Amino acid sequence: MTDTVLSIRNLTLALPKGADRRYAAENVTYDVAKGEIMCVVGESGSGKSMAANAVMGLLPKGVRPTDGEILFHGEDLLKLDEKRHRELRGLRIGMIFQEPMTALNPLMRAGDQIAEVFEAHGLYNAKERQQKALSLLEEVGIPQPEKAIRAYPFELSGGQRQRVMIAMALALEPELLIADEPTTALDVTTQAQILELIRDLQQRRNMAVMFITHDFGVVAEIATRVCVMRLGKVVELGLASDILGNPQHEYTRSLIDAIPSNAVPPARDVRDPAPLLEVRQLNKVFRSRGGLFKPSREVVALNDVSFTLDRGETVGIVGESGSGKSTMGRCVVRLERPDSGELLLDGVNLSALKGDALRRERKRVQMVFQDPYASLNPRTRVGLAIAQGPIANGVPRQEALKQAGDLLDLVGLGAAAAERFPHEFSGGQRQRIGIARALALNPELIVADEAVSALDVSIQAQILELLEDLKRKLSLSLLFITHDLRVAAQVCDRIIVMQHGRIVEQGTAQEVFLSPREAYTRELLDAIPGRAHEAAAV
Amino acid sequence: MVYARLIAMRLLKAVIVLFLIIVFNFFLIQLAPGDPAAILAGEAGATDEAFLRQLREQFGLDQPLYVQLWHYVSGIATLDFGYSYRQQMPVLDLILERLPATLLLTGTAFVLSLALGIFAGSMAAARVKKISGSVIMALALVFYATPLFWVALMAVLLFSVYLDWLPAYGMFTVGAHYTGMAHILDVAKHLILPASTLALFFMAIYTRMTRASMLEASQQDYVKTARAKGLKDRVIQRRHILRNALLPIITLAGLQAGQMVGGAILTETVFAWPGIGRLMYEALMQRDYNLLLGIFFFSAALVIVFNIFTDLVYRLADPRIKEAS
């Protein structure tokens, strides 16, 4: 490749003392050329974002370069003083971040935040900046740009905010765009749109793009070249087609294999097709209370939802944010009270129960939450956290703690883990704790709400395996809520697709995934990144 | 338009709250032991039963409670807060006479503490790992931990007695009869010591809060975004970090502002400042119930006014707050 824009040579970044390893990045070498999208792939902790931060001069405190160079058009960025480096940022190197929810200043209008880029580099007057911001918003395809320019971030959706971020990063037509997991926090359909936008803008402007991701599906969608990183080192580097088609390194192969494939496992026969959970015409409307002068707002989260879940079955509820899938799960464990309809668990109407009767029944349904970081009390030892449920249900403390140890054994952490605090565990381990906690009350049904969404693919595969294993051993039933149709196809016997609080389609995993009847399901499937690539490979 | 409606709503609620406060205060005073008539009579040096009865009749103390309450509430509705027999003046006149002095003192202290506190706090946040930053925080801690009256006494000792730079007490030089600019300067000179004494405590709180809040805000993703734009540190500090960090400070400032009428008793006493605080203290000591009730009413009203004002400021500072709480 000619026209190298960025050339990272033997870059080594040292972590502060006491970190779990010495180097955030070790001897990293790769180039990014004009007109290409270089995907840097790795799991969390692989150091994939570190080089990008070094390019921007935005390394976290304590991380410092000890060796190597970063050549931007032949100039070593590591040797620049802060002032010169600042002049490059925004002007010649733009950056997009992962979290569109937090990456914009909540107190500034979108237009002003874009205009700030021009201001930072002393370009144009105030009026021209606003005009430029408007045309940028048009370019990134925001609906009603003249309204969006006056909007505060909280008034925009995740995808719209990410478009604002992109408009900001591209304002001064930088030669290099760094995108750090820009679509990870978005719904699949939104993700597909944003990926298309980035690819489109990249081609139109012939930019060099450094795209950081953990998702090989995304890589397959947009990468020209790929750099796979693990524990701070480059494992494999090459053309996207080579790496995806014929990965050399074992780690790369395991990452690609860990992506849930398009092949759907054959349906299992359920031995005992007796319904465990029957949901009948469930409705739930959220109302924001209006004031004297303010109209109240209504969001229909569940609209006449009915389905059954047989004993020993895994049913997946799939949908994008706002589809009502989480509300469904919360209603089943009665964290939320449905407005109308029935929730029959083994013939007992859960939705009608109150007070003590509800307390007695609710242990039969337990939940595994999405965020393994936020769902455990940081000040409670893991063993006690698991034992609290049984203790509340009258099991003597010593016995409950002993059971907690056994459960930790069962989920593969070992009974010794009981004495430790949540922060001592990784995300995947915490999710195992979450599962142990859900199991502590011997439930018949487990509701897993996006239980693997926050995890790396390899860890995700392990957790799914664990759930499958436990399900068999303990003869559990599973309600699996996810935004990821592919994961659902792997683990579920039946899949329910939801949109705007309604069930759009339901059927066996094979039916829904391989021959969807509804347009929306097809749309969801088409939006899955890397699907075209894999279809070709199969 | 939205604001006008909001203010109208809040004022309506405020009237209800004020009414409840008046009723509550009225009964609170009724619960206090002792017969006002007996005290009045005692002061006059006469204690015979006929005189007492005459006093009770004169002031309506022999009426049933609800009648007394009705008289009191309807009086306030027409801005009649009753008569202070101790001071031989209508309560309203007494309060209005003292109010400007107090508002001058507490208002100056408020502005001073807020401005200096935010300034020192942002300095400390920007110099978090430097000695200068630590010095600011150490000073803030000292002011925060030191009792107000002690600071006041030491300030008098140092600046008035020892250095003789500033007057030790009062609001203006007695007997000098300055007018115009000279009068303003004279009052300003008298104001410096009490106002800064009063300001120190809140200044220390604002400093600590601004620093903590800014350090937290500087960890946010949008700050990284701002840096990626190539903005200068100074601009990022002011526009992105400080603006987001100000929200909790507005809450606190609202609380401090609410104390402006009643919060300066100690300072006013030490510096002999002729304000409401001292008036309240005297009223308390002399069981001047009418006067006390009047002061209660005014300070409650001011708290309500500043709460409304704080809500409005909050709304301006944070666009996310849309509906009335």
State whether A446 and A494 are in the same domain.
Answer: yes
From chain A, pick out residues whose CB is under 8 angstroms from the CB of B311: none
Residue A2, number of CB atoms within 10 A of its CB: 5
**Can you give the CATH number for the domain in which A228 is found?**
3.40.50.300
A240 and A368 in a single domain? The answer is no
**A406 and A506 fall within a common domain:** yes
Task: Report pLDDT for A267.
Answer: 65
Average pLDDT over residues B184-205: 88
The answer on A352 and A418 residing in a single domain is yes
CB contact under 8 A, A95 and B228: yes
Does residue B244 lie within any of the structural domains?
yes
Give the pLDDT of residue A1. Answer: 46
Q: Which residues are A447's β-sheet partners? A: A367, A479
Which positions in chain A touch B228 (Cβ < 8 Å)?
56, 58, 89-90, 94-95, 97, 169
Output the domain CATH number for residue B154: 1.10.3720.10
Contact state of A107 with B229 under an 8 Å Cβ cutoff: no
Total beta-carbon pairs less than 8 A apart between chain A and chain B: 85
Query: Which range is least confidently modeled, A394-398, A425-429, A442-446, B193-197?
Result: A425-429
Contact B244 A120 (CB under 8 A): no
**Interchain CB distance below 8 Å, A292 and B9:** yes
Instruction: Please identify, among B49, B80, B111, the residue that sits at the C-terminal boundary of a domain.
Output: B80
Confidence of residue A529 (pLDDT cuts 50, 70, 90): confident
Same domain, residue pair B61 and B158: no
Lowest mean pLDDT among A52-56, A329-333, A504-508, B265-269: B265-269
Mean pLDDT of A22-45: 89
- Rounded CA-CA distance A426/B86 in Å is 73
Residue A200 · residue A229 · CB < 8 Å = no
Among B5, B221, B239, select the one facing A103 at the smallest CB separation.
B221
Tell me if chain B has a CB within 8 Å of the CB of A94. yes
- For residues B110 and B170, membership in a common domain is answered with yes
| Residue B159 DSSP SS3 | helix
Decide which of B80, B108, B129 is a domain's last residue: B80
Tally of helices (H runs) and strands (E runs) in chain B: 14, 2
A533 and A419 inside one domain: yes
Q: What CA dihedral angle connects A464, A465, A467 and A468, to 10 degrees? A: 120
Q: Does residue B264 register a pLDDT over 90?
A: no
Based on the domain organization, do B210 and B61 belong to the same domain? Answer: no
Same domain (yes/no): B35, B141: no
Residues B139 and B237 reside in one and the same domain: yes
A87 touches B: beta carbon within 8 Å: yes
Question: Per the domain annotation, does A80 fall within a domain?
Answer: yes
| Structural domain of A3 | 1-86+176-184+204-216+224-252
Quote the pLDDT of residue B120.
93
Closest approach of chain B CAs to the CA of A173, in angstroms?
A: 12
Residue B8 within any structural domain of the chain: no
- Residue A386: inside a domain: yes
* Segment among A275-284, B7-16, B91-100, B163-172 with least mean pLDDT: B163-172
The total domain count for chain A is 2
Based on the fold, state whether residues A230 and A323 are members of the same structural domain.
no
The reply to whether A229 and A376 lie within a common domain is no
- Residue B212 domain flag: yes
pLDDT of residue B115: 94
Residue numbers in A near B318 (CB within 8 A): 106-107
Q: Which residue has the tokens 């609080």?
A: A501
| pLDDT computed for residue A315 by the predictor | 92
DSSP state string for A158-194: HHHHHHHHHHHHHTT--SEEEEESTTTTS-HHHHHHH
User: Is B59 a member of any domain?
Assistant: yes
* Judgement on whether residues B161 and B28 belong to the same structural domain of the protein: no
Minimal Cβ distance to B319: which of A56, A152, A168: A152
Surface-to-core class of residue A434, CB atoms within 10 Å of its CB (0-12 exposed, 13-18 middle, 19+ buried):
buried
Residues of B with CB under 8 A from a CB of A: 5, 9, 220-222, 224-232, 235, 239-240, 243-244, 317-320, 323-324
Chain A nearest-CA residue for B3: A293
Over residues B259-268, the mean pLDDT reads 78
Is residue B6 included in any domain, yes or no? no
B45 and B105 part of one domain: no
pLDDT at A262: 65
Mean pLDDT of all residues in A483-496: 87
Q: For the ranges A59-68, A140-149, B57-66, which has the lowest average pLDDT?
A: B57-66
Which pLDDT does position B269 carry in this prediction? 84
Nearest to B222 among A56, A103, A154 (CB): A103
Read off the amino acid at residue A470: L
Task: Tell me how close the Cα of B29 comes to any Cα of chain A, in angstroms.
Answer: 36
Q: Is residue A137 part of a domain?
A: no
Collect all residues of chain A within an 8 Å Cβ-Cβ radius of residue B317. Answer: 107
Cβ–Cβ < 8 Å for B113, B123: no
pLDDT at A532: 64
Q: In 3-state terms, what secondary structure has residue A63?
A: coil
- The verdict on B249 and B116 lying in the same domain is yes
Residue B202 lies in a domain: yes
Whose CA is closest to A369, among A474, A492, A457, A452? A452
Q: Is A450 a domain residue? A: yes
Residues B49 and B110 in one domain: no
Domain end, chosen from B80, B111, B135, is at B80
Query: Is the residue at A302 inside a domain?
Result: yes
Domain that holds residue B192: 100-317
Whether residues A240 and A364 fall in one domain? no
- Same domain, yes or no: B283 and B149: yes
**Using CB atoms, which residue from B226, B240, B323 is nearest to A291?**
B323
A169 occurs within a structural domain: no
Provide the 10 A C-beta neighbour count for residue A238: 16
Same domain, A393 and A248: no
Residue of chain A nearest B245, judged by CA positions: A107
Question: Are the C-beta atoms of residues A10 and A25 closer than 8 Å to each other?
Answer: no
What CA–CA distances, in Å, run from B178 to B182, B271, B272?
Answer: 6, 20, 19
| Predicted local distance difference test score (pLDDT) of residue A3 | 83
ipTM score for this prediction = 0.78
- Would you state the pLDDT for residue A39? 93
Residue A19 lies in a domain: yes
Q: Using the beta-carbon criterion (under 8 Å), do A86 and B230 form an inter-chain contact?
A: yes
pLDDT above 90 coverage of chain A, percent: 22
How does pLDDT run across A147-178, given as a tens digit for each residue? Answer: 889 888 888 888 888 889 999 988 888 999 99
Measured between alpha carbons, how far is A49 from A71 in angstroms, rounded to an integer? Answer: 17
What pLDDT digit, counting tens, does each position of A318-327 carry? 988 888 888 8
Residues of B with Cβ-Cβ distance to A88 under 8 angstroms? 230
Q: Is residue A263 domain-resident?
A: no
pLDDT for position A496: 93
**B76 lies in the same domain as B104:** no
Query: What pLDDT is recorded for position B324?
Result: 41
Q: Which residues of A touch B232 (CB under 8 A)?
A: 86, 120
Whether A133 and chain B come into contact, CB under 8 Å, resolves to no
Domain total in chain B: 2
Residue B47 lies in a domain: yes
- Give the pLDDT of residue A114: 93
Q: Which of A224-233, A369-378, B36-45 has the lowest mean pLDDT?
A: B36-45
User: A294 vs B235: CB contact, 8 Å cut-off?
Assistant: no
- pLDDT at site B325: 39
Domain match, B265 and B301 both: yes
Are A521 and A434 within one domain? Answer: yes
Per-residue pLDDT of A88-126, as tens digits, reads: 898 899 999 888 778 999 999 999 999 999 999 888 888
Which pLDDT belongs to residue B112?
A: 93
Asked whether residue B10 is domain-assigned, the answer is: no
CB A413 within 8 A of CB A433: yes
**A91 with B227: Cβ contact below 8 A:** no
* pLDDT number for residue A478: 92
Looking at the fold, whether A246 and A362 belong to one and the same domain comes out as no
Per-residue pLDDT at A295: 56
Residue type (1 letter), B104: L
How many other CB atoms are found less than 10 A from the CB of residue B317? 15
A61 contacts chain B (CB < 8 A)? no
| β-pair type (A93-96, A37-41) | unpaired
Q: Tens of pLDDT along B83-113?
A: 887 788 888 999 998 888 998 998 999 999 9
